[in-house]
Structure 1
Amino acid sequence: MAIFALAIANRQTGAAEASESSAVSIKEWEIQWFADSNKSERPPSLTGPWITADISEPETSIPKGYDGAWVHVAVPPTADWQTPGLLISQLYGLDISVYEDGGLLYRSSRDFSFDRNMLLLALAPKTEPSDLYIRIESMDRAGPSSAVRIGDFYELSETFIREELPSVLLGASIAFMGLLMLLVSGYLNVQQRRAWVSLSLIALTASVMIVTYSTLPFIYFEEFGKGLQFAFDLSMLTVFPALHFYVASVFEGKLAFFKKFGRWFAGYSVLGFLVLILNEMIGDAFFFYYKLFTFWLLAPLILVHLLLVLGQSVIQSVRGNRNSTIMGLGFLALAVMGVADMLKIYAKDSVPILHLWKVGIVLLIISLIVVLARKISADHRRLLSYSKELELFNHQLQRAEKMKIISDLAASIAHEVRNPLQVTRGFLQLIAGRSDEASKPHFEMAINELDRASGIITDFLTFAKPEMDTVVALDIQQELGKIESIISPLAAYHGTVLEVRIPDRLYVLGNPTKFKQAFMNMIKNSIESIQSNGIVKIEAHAENGMAVIRIADNGEGMDEDQIAKLGEPYYSTKTKGTGLGLMVTFRIIEVMKGTLEFRSEKGKGTEALIRFPLARQH
């Protein structure tokens, strides 16, 4: 046995090489399969068939009819280290026993089926090579899949923790983020909360998968091994249905097949959950079905889901859905990483330890967070827009109610008041003609005030009945030209210049008299708002099937509160104004199916934009 061990040691020490930390990496070992129904720990047969394995071809799949493997490792001299140790960071096995010189050196046993393990043990300092025999019992995989490192025990322990700790910290960070998102979800509305909770669930389940895929928790919390393994499998069955629900909230349209696939996936997850329960209840006898539903069938199903999401993301992106583009990139990253890991699986007889999917999960979660942030931002913008529209609607409703009251009032009393005013005016004119010169100014003042009252009554009547008796196609250039000739003397009196630029062939439907009344009111208001060196610009153009008329001045201007009150009865920025003229103007433009909008800034003038539907001319 010593001669055989020395020969093996001489052959394998050539495969050992020193690293920067002075540890020795052994990249070759020997495997002998065993079938032991009695579970006895008899020593391996030194003359039996041994299979040479290395890190490129670790030979970890247990052949049919066998229960495990003996692994022979030739250990070089360990006297160079004060506390020598051995580390196999990636080792498949459930029950592990290590023998040196015929004596038991280490033993570990698991009562759960998570076969990813590690081996870290202290060795005695020796000046000569020695042989270690590792007995491994497992379900379908047994043996090392990484190099066997010999070095200082404490340095090897730190090395293992450094290799495994990043995954644990990454998973813990994602879990903290998911839990925090879940706690603050109550501050969102129902529609936002659904996607938010889905993303929280995705983050929490993904974090559990990342943490429990690492060997570290199973080594330091071995008593919770069953719970950790169950948590990983449950998270695997939960994360993708939650992901599907989140994705469906981003895509637009009916997506009948996509939603049906989501229901299938959810049904499969429920079936997988039942398989997990049965596996816990039945044990090893159910292991084949457990592996079938939680890995061999689930992995292709996940890949199909990723491809389906990617295809739908491309379709939605073509339709202009930017969120689909961002999310598609995240899924593409996960799909690429997942395909790379699956290629590693099918390229080897044994299932290797996969890491790329963790990077894909992180990139996907980042993309989902960006999409959710964009959705919440868009919802906020829509809410602000809706609030402004609601405020405008309430303002218009209040104005409409006031207009209705005035309209009803005007219709009921305007004629009754106007008749006695005309009679009174006639008698005053008659008496004034017979009075002395000293009394005539008083009569003229009374007659002027009666005329002013009559003008107000006329405005009331116009507002109460703005219907057009005659509707014709109006040439805007011609009509505004007439208004310019009428209003020019008033503009000259106030030292204001009128600049009229109207293109030809702009036609709208309306009544010429009402049209003139409305625009003369607005142009007159612009002229009277100017102190000196005034300019009133009147322009027009066609835009999207509408005739747009712009009246701009460089007068005093108005603030937002004043603009909001324009058109209300008895509100005017002029000292002696009643506000009825502009109120009638709004009413006339409304009857002509047009709109009137004011833009102004204090001290910088006012701009009125009037829009009418264009009329066709044959």
Structure 2
Amino acid sequence: MSLTVKSLHIALVFLLLSITCGTFLVSAQGSYPAGEIRQWQMKWQEGPEDNGRKAPVTETEGWMDVEAQAKMPQMPAGVSSAWTKITLPSYSYVSPAVYIQAIYALHVKVYVEERLIFEGDRSFIKDNYSLLLPLDFQDNGKTIYIWTQTLQDRIGIKEKVVIGEHSMLIKDYIKNGLTDVILGGAFLFVAAVLFVCAFFLNREYFPIATSLSIVIASTGVLSITYSPFTYTFYSYLGAISVVFFDVALLSLLPALTFLFENIFGPGRYGIIRRFRKFQTAYSLFCLICLIINGLSGDRYVEFYFFVSTKIIGIIMILQFILLIGCVIVFSLKRNKDAIIFACGFGTAALTGVLELIWYYFNSGNYDLQYWKWALVVFILSLIVILGRRLAQNHSQVVKYSQELELFNNELQRSEKMEIISELAASVAHEVRNPLQVTRGFLQLLSEKSSGDEQRYLFMALSELDRAASIITDFLTFAKPEFEQVSLLNVNEEFMHIQSILLPLCHLNGGKMILEVEEDLWVKGNSSKFKQALINIIKNSIESLGEEGTIHLLAYSRGDSIHIHIKDNGVGMEPGVLSRLGEPYFSSNKTKGTGLGLMVTFRIIEAMEGEIRFMSKKGAGTESITILPRAEGPDDSNSR
């Protein structure tokens, strides 16, 4: 109880402190809110002696007015530096500061009147500065002079200038570009995990996973090295960051095309493959230019900037247009992967193309910022596609495993059948001859005997006939080929079978319904065909109960004849159903040898057909026999 009271007391104290501190902060912020400076003046460099060593405090001519977030002034030919003059408003901040989110330059000097308060010089091509300039209270109403120098086509302040408390502005200063660094780090982590997982995939998916990891890693490096956060707080890594940015961009483009090619193919006339080869060659060319420029001390920086920025931007636009066109074609073919790819890549490509067009429209005075988030959508779509491929691969493996199990069972069955065939062929002939001799002598003895002796001889003859019947089944199984093959009219065969088995069906309390189409012809031996069907129908008759029905149905479907024999007998369990046709396995008979259905299977196989059973315990059994259809006499059955 005391612990609960103490916890509530501590929570109340923290609540009061937070309310109090929050009130102080709100009051402080509310009393001195940050202000925006939306107008300033610019002046181009007047001569080569102007190197920013002294602020032009006394100069009044040549200044031009500039509005915040308006189109930046176009640099005149031959000009590489400029001065910017900002008049500070009156303020009452305790710790004043000026925050400039984006200013384009490679070399920057900032003066308050004639006092130098900041200087930055970059030896690498990254001209986006983010500045937080602390001020003194005495700087109230003074003028800030900013000298900027560049080798590119843009210069000066891009966004509005904010003045306020240093403790408040530093939050925006730190957060500027921090999200890009976090996003890039997440990309690199995902790419590393995916790359490691790629080694556990099969060869088919290894190139896709590897190229996808390169695309994700390149995107992460681009996000980190393009962020102003990197160059603001880690300026000493600026040169290597620019190199990493270029390498990542030159790796991303061919890897993306290679990934697309692996997912959807080379395209018509191999256009995707050819474009990928061109991209790879051009990326290697740019890498060589990068190495040469680095070894020469940036002597060819302008040429390298042209081939790695201007031309590569045009190539990116062409690549996006090509891939979007291919995605549209594949999507029209209802390819699910193409539809997913279209959603992700369409978002990224459309965003990238629009930003690049806007970049060139503004003569380079625009920082690409939305492409990273569009790439997030695209990468998610690529991961979904890879996941779908892996899921489909897993489904195929499961399917192949099931088929392999079926083939294995069929192989085992075939091996059993082969053993029985060899035994039947080698034993049946040897056994049949002594049985016939024995039967002949017993028949002679029975003619001369009487009474119980004659009855015993008749029983012996009956058992010999039963043994001969089993041996005949063995011979039929061992050699199901037909000595005489002829055209069989299925309707006539069924009429003959019905006349044979109908009395037995009535004797078991059942009835038989026959529905057979006319002009159904198959090739085979009449006696063997009847034997196969009689074996099935006899099993159905023996499974019937009271008021049982056997339905015989035969019809044509395409080039096949379908024969259904369905009863409403006791049915079979799945375990029994799967063993039908095995030697010495009898489904529902205690005295059966299991050879009847085994012989039936062999006869149907010899006729190039197939037979399968469907059954449910207590609901009956249905056999479906499918045989190739034959043309009737005088082509009466031809179509």
TM-score, normalised on structure 1? 0.90
Alignment partner for residue 349 of structure 2, among 324, 335, 343?
A: 335
Is 2:57 the counterpart of 1:42? no
SS in 1 for 2:204: helix
Task: Give 1:561 shift.
Answer: 4.2
**Counterparts in 2 of 1:164 and 1:374: CA distance versus 1, 3 Å:** same
Asked if structure 2 preserves the Cα contact closer than 8 Å seen for 1:60 and 1:350, the reply is no
Relative to 1, partners in 2 of residues 1:441 and 1:39: Cα closer, same or farther, differing over 3 Å? farther
By how many angstroms is 1:148 displaced?
Answer: 0.8
Q: What aligned pairs does 1:171-210 form with structure 2 within 5 A after superposition?
A: 171-210=184-223
Distance 1:529 1:278, change over 3 A: farther
Unaligned runs of 5+ in 1: 1-17
Q: Is the 8 A contact 2:421 2:478 kept in 1?
A: yes
Amino acid at match of 1:27: R
- CA displacement 1:38-81 (0-9 Å, x = unmatched): 846232372342232223434266443223221111221122x2
Task: Name the stretch that deviates more: 260-269 or 565-574.
Answer: 565-574
Measured against aligned partners, the alpha-carbon deviations of 1:471-513 in whole angstroms (never above 9, x if no partner) come to 3333333322332332222223333343433333433332222
Deviation at 1:282, TM superposition (A): 2.3
Change in Cα spacing, 1:277 to 1:48, as seen in structure 2 (3 Å) is farther
Who is 1:613 aligned against?
628
Bigger CA drift: 589-598 or 172-181? 172-181
Contact kept, 8 Å, 2:544 with 2:569, in 1: the verdict is yes
Conserved? CA contact 2:514–2:553, under 8 Å: yes
Report if aligned partners of 1:86, 1:122 keep a CA contact under 8 Å in 2.
yes
Partner of 1:487: 501
Instruction: For residue 86 of structure 1, report the CA deviation from its aligned partner.
Output: 0.9
Q: Alignment partner for residue 36 of structure 2, among 22, 25, 28?
A: 25
Deviates more, 1:535-544 or 1:297-306: 535-544
Q: Is 1:144 matched with 2:157?
A: yes
Counterpart Cα distance in 1 of 2:427 and 2:618: 40
Q: 2:9 matched to which residue of 1?
A: none
Q: Tell me which residue corresponds to 1:449.
A: 463
Report whether the alignment pairs 1:519 with 2:533: yes
Letter aligned with residue 539 of structure 2: N
Deviation track 1:217-262 (CA, whole Å, cap 9, x = no partner) reads: 2212222222222221111111121111211121147752221221
Give 1:399's aligned amino acid. Answer: R
Give runs of aligned pairs for residues 523-542 of structure 1, distance below 5 A.
523-542=537-556
Question: Contact 1:499/1:538 (CA < 8 Å) preserved in 2?
Answer: yes
Q: Give the superposition deviation at 1:387.
A: 1.8
- When structure 1 is superposed on structure 2, of 143-152 and 570-579 the one drifting more is 570-579
Amino acid at match of 1:598: F
Letter in 1 for 2:489: D
Q: 1:321: which partner in 2? A: 335
For the 8 Å contact 2:72–2:365, the answer to whether it is kept is no
Shift of 1:149: 1.0
- Hey, what does 1:224 align to over in structure 2? 237
Q: 1:267 to 1:392 in 2, by over 3 A?
A: same
Cα distance, 1:548–1:75 mapped onto 2, change above 3 Å: farther
Q: Is the 8 A contact 2:348 2:374 kept in 1?
A: yes
The 8 Å contact of residues 42 and 65 in structure 2, kept in 1 or not, is answered as yes
Q: SS in structure 2 opposite 1:350?
A: coil
CA-CA distance at 1:532 after TM superposition: 4.8
Aligned partner of 1:114 in structure 2 is 126
Cα pair 2:55 2:113 within 8 Å, conserved: no
Query: Could you give the per-residue CA deviations for residues 443-494 of structure 1, whole angstroms, max 9, x where no partner exists?
Result: 3332222112111211122122222333333333332233233222222333
1:72 matched to which residue of 2? 85
Which residue pairs with 2:257 in the alignment? 244
Instruction: Report the AA paired with residue 151 of structure 2.
Output: M
- Which secondary structure state, in structure 1, belongs to the residue aligned with residue 179 of structure 2? helix
**Cα 1:444–1:65, aligned 2, differ >3 Å: closer, same or farther?**
same
Question: Structure 1 residues 247-256 or 383-392, which shifts more?
Answer: 247-256
**1:62-112 deviations in whole A, cap 9, x for unaligned?**
443223221111221122x22221111112122221100210112222232
Task: Give the Å deviation of 1:559.
Answer: 4.3
| Contact 1:60–1:144 (8 Å) recurs in 2 | no
Q: CA deviation at 1:558?
A: 3.8
Inter-CA distance 165–550: structure 2 relative to 1 (3 Å threshold): farther
**Map of 2:608 onto structure 1:** 593
Preserved CA contact (<8 Å) 2:327 2:341: yes
C-alpha distance in structure 1 between counterparts of 2:567 and 2:178, whole Å: 72
Q: Which moved more, 1:554-563 or 1:205-214?
A: 554-563
- The Cα RMSD (Å) is 2.6
Offset at residue 128 of structure 1 (A): 4.6
Give the secondary structure class of the aligned counterpart of 2:199. Answer: helix
8 Å contact from structure 2 (residues 52, 147) kept in 1: no
2:170 is the alignment partner of 1:157? yes
Per the TM alignment, residue 368 of structure 1 is displaced from its structure 2 partner at its CA by 1.1
Distance 2:253 2:568 in 1: 64
Post-superposition offset of 1:359: 2.8
AA in 2 matched with 1:230: V
State how far apart, in whole Å, the 2-side matches of 1:551 and 1:228 are.
79
Q: Do the aligned residues in 2 keep the contact of 1:309 with 1:328 (CA within 8 Å)?
A: no
Q: Quick one: distance in 2 between partners of 1:528 and 1:482?
A: 20
Secondary structure in 1 matching 2:42 = strand
What CA deviation, in whole Å up to 9, does each residue of 1:278-326 have, x standing for no partner?
Answer: 2322233221122122211111112212222222223333444221222
